[in-house]
Amino acid sequence: MRNYLVTFFAVFILSVPWFALTYPDQMRDFLLVVSDTGDQFASVILSHNPKTVEQIQSKYIASNIGIPNKKVRILLVPGHEANYGGAEYGSIKERDLTLELAKDLERIMGANSHYQVMVTRDDKTWSPTFDSYFKNNWQDIVTWTTAHREEISHLVSIGYVKPVVPTIIHNKAPTGVAYRLFGFTKWANENDVDIIIHIHFNDNPGHGINTPGDYSGFSIYVPEKQYYNSTTTIAVANTIFSRLSKLNPVSDLPGESTGIVEEPDLIAIGAYNTSDAASMLIEYGYIYEQQFVNTSLRAVSINDLAFQTYLGLQDFFDKNNAVKSAVSFNTLLLPHEWRNLVSKNEGTSGEIYALQTALMLDGVYPPQNTKMNDCPRTGSFGPCTLKALEAFQKKYGIDGEKGIVGPDTRSLLNEKYGTNRLI
């Protein structure tokens, strides 16, 4: 969650606004000149070694042929801290959802020997690595952050950099939280991390504590185009976006509706041009969406988002990979074997969730003239499901069980999307 609200996220209180780097290549040269001539504009000489697309893709290939220490290194940052921060809705805490998704992603990616996956925390505290890093390097993190801020400030003063105003107002992070976010980036730079994924769930102001808000869907935040780590981040974000958007609505919050949002001021993704790794922040949906609120669907829906994220990474690293051909549905919800009659007024169930997913892959869900945001997959059988089911039945000439999953509809669903389907 990162808009306006209660708990906040990644904006650090700046002494100068964030400024875009208008001429990144020239600036790199400029920094070399500055260090040669001993100009003391910053107390630390900064090095920028942004990961290129070719670099990280070649790592994946290198790990393929058994070159040691060449795995693609991915840092997962479950949004917010173990006992602090993030959106809340009823009894649901964003910081728990983000951790659940991070663990799912760690498990799924961990099964692929090309990746080395690290997670920053569990539900109680920081991982031992970050616990000791924060304890032993706090002053270094502060100094390093200040140096980057001064670097930008200096470049503004000499006209190499021009300001970019963020499109969305962000919540402010308290100092400790902000420095820990900078600390993740600093550590990642020092430890050859290729990709950092910050995991969040969104919220928006103005709804009651138990009343859903107006917006839904996911969005991916990437560094503003002139950051050094922007190009690589956007390349990775594109393939993840492409997978997620097949089954999930893109956020309809004004400012997020492009799906991939360039941001100048999020610490997580490299404010002050701090990050060498491709760094993105994924808001996986709004915390009050039904598939997260409903306890019987939460685990499968979050696991599925992790799975789709993994497929997106595979698309980036290995376009012709074996995983892709083995996964025909882009989701872990299918194949599914339907066994019961399904109709409206049944409450929420995995059976209906799988039905909605199958209907979506079949092109009839959401129904004509509706958006995914108006008809999300919720696991409950409402007007959207009814219309889509009727369209499905019409498409395949099924008569006599209009609006319910009776024997004929069920056997067609199982034939197309079931575990014993004919491929």
Binding residues (CB under 5 A) for Zn ion: these are: 1, 79, 86, 200
d(CA 386, CA 299): 25
159/205 with CB nearer Zn ion: 205
193/268 with CB nearer Zn ion: 268
CB 4 within 8 A of CB 205: yes
Q: How far is the CB of 331 from Zn ion (least distance, A)?
A: 24
For the chain, give the secondary structure using H, E and C: CCECCCCCCCECCCCCCCEEECCHHHHHHHHHHHHHHCCCCCCCCCCCCCCCHHHHHHHHHHHHCCCCCCCEEEEEEECCECCECCCEECCEEHHHHHHHHHHHHHHHHHCCCCEEEEECECCCCECHHHHHHHHHHHHHHHHHHHHHHHHHHHHHHCCCEEECCCCCCECECCHHHHHHHHHHHHHHHHCCCCEEEEEEEECCCCCCCCCCCCCCCEEEEEECCCCCCHHHHHHHHHHHHHHHHHHCCECCCCCCCCCEEEECCCHHHCHHHCCCCEEEEEEEEECCCHHHHCHHHHHHHHHHHHHHHHHHHHHHHCCCCHHHHHCCCCCCCCCCCCCCCECCCCCECHHHHHHHHHHHHCCCCCCCCCCCCCCCCCCECCHHHHHHHHHHHHHCCCCCCCCCECHHHHHHHHHHHCCCCCC
Peptide linkage before 376 cis (omega within 30 of 0) = no
77/352 with CB nearer Zn ion: 77
259/285 with CB nearer Zn ion: 285
Q: How far is the CB of 106 from Zn ion (least distance, A)?
A: 19
Q: How far is the CB of 357 from Zn ion (least distance, A)?
A: 26
99/297 with CB nearer Zn ion: 99
Q: How far is the CB of 84 from Zn ion (least distance, A)?
A: 12
1/42 with CB nearer Zn ion: 1
144/201 with CB nearer Zn ion: 201
The residue among 190, 232, 233 whose CA lies nearest residue 46 is: 190
Q: How far is the CB of 172 from Zn ion (least distance, A)?
A: 13
Q: How far is the CB of 353 from Zn ion (least distance, A)?
A: 25
240/311 with CB nearer Zn ion: 240
Q: How far is the CB of 86 from Zn ion (least distance, A)?
A: 5
79/264 with CB nearer Zn ion: 79
Q: How far is the CB of 8 from Zn ion (least distance, A)?
A: 9
Q: How far is the CB of 77 from Zn ion (least distance, A)?
A: 11
Instruction: Give phi and psi for 407, each to the nearest 5.
Output: -60, -45
